[in-house]
Chain A
């Protein structure tokens, strides 16, 4: 097939299509978002879930029914999905379940730089890690094969540079992909397996043993020539041996082209015997890895003598220059990176008014994740906390519970529409269940899209991933339904004075209040109008069709 220049995300989408993935689901999160968008554009069935936990559960159900499924999320999304993940390792799957975790070393657009290789070890799941787009494509096909062979979910770890970098891909270069061979794709069907899938303790105890037996088998396979596509030794200079995986392998190969390499594509379980023999074959063995010293610690724990990077290189991304420094054991201070212009709220963002008002009234603002987090930067500096998706509401409530009343009354939680649906709803339930004495005020910034990650749909927009019409969640109805006494919808851009009066009034009342500040994202507004028009036409056509199809007496 033709050479294509694809991002890692695009390569995964193409591989998913070529391997007959029946369903892709996930929640938008940089740098993983483009996988499902591309899968949908290529003709795959892709959908956004309200959050990563639900996405993984939907994917698991589909994989219980023998289908090949793909679930995507950013690294912190796996925290949300961790609960089903750990037990899905016990139940296993009948079809294939590939869980993409897109890590963000250096935090180009994230709140932390957690290393999700730890999840593979903790949950006991195989994890593959590609180092460019060709490998993203090839390894995805391998992940499907592994998932079906061992009946296990497979973690697919990507990092920002692998997700977003473009490199040349020749699809089906090794002749494995079943493109056009739809007849060979598994047909979904259901078989009862209560002992295998109902994780009461009596079933879970043997399931844990089964999981460990599978991992031992995979560890053996990972050392065999069959797994050479993933793990292999590239002989070179006997003085220097480098163990590397993912993007670090590319940096290292460029920094030390003549070194001997143990290239690791399967980061869990690690090929310990291969590593032992490799380390014995070279004078000095250095592990080059971004983030935590996961591989180095595992090899040392197995009694293999390797050198790890200095602690200073745990932070941020690696690049060729930093790898050279690690190899030279250079721990001198690094030059500060160039400081460009920081991002900011769009000049025409409808929420300038909200931040100006919060600042004017000296509010204590429990914030959340999205564009609006930029309210922390000048000129407003009107955000006091931002920790995790949905955390604004719980954190705001905690502040209200313990602060003296005069201060407590200044506390406001602020959360975007997509974030509210993702994990703000349970915070609202808590608010109704354990109301602070001074009440509380939650502002939902409803700009009608998941703006930060590039304007994706969510349940509150009433449109699906590909912008078609579907059921629509009403934020104000949800707030009323969980027992919030005061629920107001206002356009803060059209009526800034009204917004200020409302906020002042709600802060003074010792009641539970939700203010839905609703105005479409300026970047998405034109598209939203177009999609709404299309959705309205679709609904009208469907209604007409229903009328036509209905029995004659009902038409009257």
Chain B
């Protein structure tokens, strides 16, 4: 440990409601960063979130991460799973940060709506410097085998939709 500057850290906040798989998505993202050889920290509050309330999870990765929490207004990416959670969390983004909202994935496009979390991770992946292999390995580790195919499809759908999103919606990629 030393007091060296932490260097560039990527800040992601995932938000949604209890039961939507916010924590699962942040686990996969953090694991992908770990597999890419980066330092990573992830913070969220358990407990009451199990009762259907708002849930947010912070994932930070880079050369060296200090605080596990994304400072308010410094998120590079905000990934939101529930329409009701977009506005309450918008302030977490830094100016120019990227919002990935649930309406990116049109109703009925997913074989199973429960994999919206993974679809939005697929969208997030298009902005990140993490190898896609790391994501796929992290997903394999996170789900039982019978769910691998459906989640890989969801991930791919999210990637495609994000890549094809109109520039206005896509906003500006950081750096």
Other A-B pairs beyond A166-B43, A338-B89, 15, CB < 8 Å: A5-B30, A5-B31, A31-B47, A109-B45, A160-B45, A166-B27, A166-B42, A167-B40, A167-B41, A234-B3, A257-B5, A340-B54, A341-B54, A346-B52, A347-B52
Please, how many angstroms separate the alpha-carbon atoms of A164 and B84 in the complex?
A: 25
Chain A contact-residue range equals 35 or more
Q: B68–A161 contact, CB under 8 A?
A: yes
A-contacting residues, B101-124, CB 8 Å:
none
Q: Is the interface of A mostly helix, strand, loop or mixed?
A: loop
- Any B CB within 8 A of the CB of A379: no
Given A251-B67, A341-B52, A346-B52 in contact, is the A164-B3 Cβ separation under 8 Å?
no
Q: Which residues of B contact A346 (CB under 8 A)?
A: 51-52
- Any B CB within 8 A of the CB of A258: yes
Distance in Å: Cβ of B40 to nearest Cβ of chain A: 6
Q: B51–A344 contact, CB under 8 A?
A: yes
The 7 closest A-B pairs by CB, nearest first: A340-B54, A109-B47, A343-B51, A343-B53, A165-B68, A254-B66, A30-B47
Please, how many angstroms separate the alpha-carbon atoms of A251 and B56 in the complex?
A: 19
A-B contact pairs, 20 of them (CB 8 A): A5-B31, A132-B68, A161-B43, A164-B43, A165-B68, A166-B43, A167-B42, A167-B65, A234-B1, A235-B3, A247-B67, A247-B68, A250-B66, A320-B71, A321-B72, A338-B91, A341-B17, A341-B54, A345-B51, A347-B52
Q: Which residues of A contact B48 (CB under 8 A)?
A: 108-109, 343
Q: B43–A342 contact, CB under 8 A?
A: no
**Residues of B in contact, count (CB < 8 Å):** 44
Q: A168–B42 contact, CB under 8 A?
A: no
Give B33-77 as 1s and 0s: 1 = Cβ < 8 Å from A's Cβ atoms: 010000111111111111111101000000001111101110000
- Any B CB within 8 A of the CB of A145: no
Please, how many angstroms separate the alpha-carbon atoms of A257 and B8 in the complex?
A: 13
Question: What is the total of A-B residue contacts with beta carbons within 8 Å?
Answer: 134
Distance in Å: Cβ of B75 to nearest Cβ of chain A: 12
Using CB atoms and an 8 Å cutoff, list the residues of chain B in contact with chain A: 1-6, 15, 17-18, 27, 30-31, 34, 39-54, 56, 65-69, 71-73, 84-85, 88-89, 91-92
In chain A, what residue has the closest Cβ to B91?
Answer: A338
Distance in Å: Cβ of B70 to nearest Cβ of chain A: 9
Please, how many angstroms separate the alpha-carbon atoms of A41 and B53 in the complex?
A: 28
Using CB atoms and an 8 Å cutoff, list the residues of chain A in contact with chain B: 3, 5, 30-31, 108-109, 132, 160-161, 164-168, 234-236, 247, 250-251, 253-254, 257-261, 263, 319-321, 335, 338-347, 371, 374, 452-454, 523
Distance in Å: Cβ of B45 to nearest Cβ of chain A: 4
In chain B, what residue has the closest Cβ to A341?
Answer: B54
Q: Which residues of A contact B71 (CB under 8 A)?
A: 254, 319-321
Please, how many angstroms separate the alpha-carbon atoms of A263 and B66 in the complex?
A: 14
Q: A339–B34 contact, CB under 8 A?
A: no
Distance in Å: Cβ of A525 to nearest Cβ of chain B: 15
Please, how many angstroms separate the alpha-carbon atoms of A321 and B54 in the complex?
A: 22
Please, how many angstroms separate the alpha-carbon atoms of A495 and B50 in the complex?
A: 27
Please, how many angstroms separate the alpha-carbon atoms of A452 and B46 in the complex?
A: 10
Q: A167–B68 contact, CB under 8 A?
A: yes
Please, how many angstroms separate the alpha-carbon atoms of A108 and B44 in the complex?
A: 10
Q: A164–B34 contact, CB under 8 A?
A: no
Q: B3–A253 contact, CB under 8 A?
A: yes
